[in-house]
A = this chain, B = another copy of it.
Amino acid sequence: MIVNMSDSATQEQIEHIIQRIREAGFQPHVTRGTERTIVAAVGSGGRRHEIEALSVAPGVDNVVAIAQPFKLVSRQARPQPSVVTVGAGGGKTGGGVKIGGPEVVVIAGPCSVESREQLLETAQGVKRAGAAMLRGGAYKPRTSPYEFQGLGIEALKILREARELTGLPVVTEVMSTEDVDLICEYADMLQVGARNMQNFALLRRLAMIKKPILLKRGPSASVKEWLLAAEYLLSGGNDQVVLCERGIKTFETGMRNTFDLAAVALAKELSHLPVVADPSHGTGKQSLIGAVSRAAIAVGADGLIVEVHPCPERALSDGPQSLDLLQFERVMKDLSAPLRPLLIPAEAEA
């Protein structure tokens, strides 16, 4: 941490800062410039917030943090990429699905479980097309109280049946600490939705379970805040965490969100955790899903989570961004097509 004194800071004010840095458990280190003085707080055992609060001390211009605030999720803590295994030992799923390994994992399924028929048809369809995991919402966070809120436990039972039928491990969203135990009985992976990324009570509860967590980035969360939310899980005891980029809120209204694909690369640079991408929420537009899914893999995502519905125009939620089964098949085929070639001028070295 660096405390940047103002031009007019007095010697007494500088002394005060030096003393406060010591009280906070750091060593002070003073650099006197021609115009201003900066005081660094050096060491790793001190209390950061006490230095931050010095920004309002007399004679201080501002306080700048140097080191990243997250620890266990960082590459420094674990230089090798983590691999999270989902559904291990769960009957047909055998050894489980590995997210973060050499291959890209596609998770597919409807936004919401609407009926037994709808889910089983979708599960079989996405499996046939090559999906490795099944998604489906039982408890739905909806902007309006008048929208479909999910089938709850009935949906969980249908998800379990789909897993038995197809062998695909299941991920579903948890919205409340009170539902954690129940959902753990039925699902292989628990999703923290974007709007709950900083629901710290929920994160603390999920840190205590043994199931892997899919942690979506909040619509206004910086990559740093996202990694700090993951830090709640790791520091609480659960290191089976997969991050999920799903688009952020910006001024652009041509798509539902701005899909921040570069953030996938940045998160993987800063952290050892696997990162998957959600092209459905990322764009909100059926017609763009194929293109951005390819881009997500190209940028380094360890997986995709895609909304698929047998009949999107009849979906109870997220119809506009859902693929039907035929469209999903086509997208899956495109995912292994080679990249478009470069135009190389004749004279360049081959």
Contacts and interface: CB of A to CB of B under 8 A. Distances in A.
A296 B340 CA distance: 11
Nearest to A265: B291
A42 B52 contact: no
Contact of A339 (B40, B224, B339): B339
Given A255-B266, A260-B258, A322-B56, A347 B167 contact: yes
B298 A343 contact: no
Interface in A22-80: 27, 29, 31-36, 38, 40, 42-44, 48-50, 52-57, 61, 63-64, 66-67, 69-71, 76
Given A312-B53, A314-B53, A348-B128, A342 B43 contact: no
Contacts of A147: 48-49
Interface string A149-167: 0000000000000000011
B262 A255 contact: yes
B235 A251 contact: no
B251 A265 contact: no
Interface stretch (A115-123, A181-189, A197-205, A208-216): A197-205
Contacts of A101: 343
Nearest to A247: B262
A246 interface: no
A297 B49 CA distance: 32
Copies held by the complex = 4
A84 interface: no
B38 A33 contact: no
Contact of A313 (B57, B127, B225, B235): B57
A228 to B, nearest CB: 5
A298 B259 CA distance: 14
A15 interface: no
A153 to B, nearest CB: 15
B38 A34 contact: no
B44 A228 contact: no
Given A130-B344, A265-B291, 13 more contacts: A2-B38, A20-B313, A55-B319, A56-B312, A103-B341, A166-B347, A195-B199, A248-B250, A252-B260, A258-B263, A262-B291, A294-B298, A335-B339
Interface of A: 2, 4, 7, 20, 27, 29, 31-36, 38, 40, 42-44, 48-50, 52-57, 61, 63-64, 66-67, 69-71, 76, 97-98, 101-106, 127-132, 141-148, 166-168, 175-179, 195-196, 198-202, 218-220, 222-225, 228, 231-232, 235-236, 248-255, 258-263, 265-266, 269, 282-283, 285-288, 291-292, 294-300, 312-317, 319-320, 322, 332, 335-345, 347-349
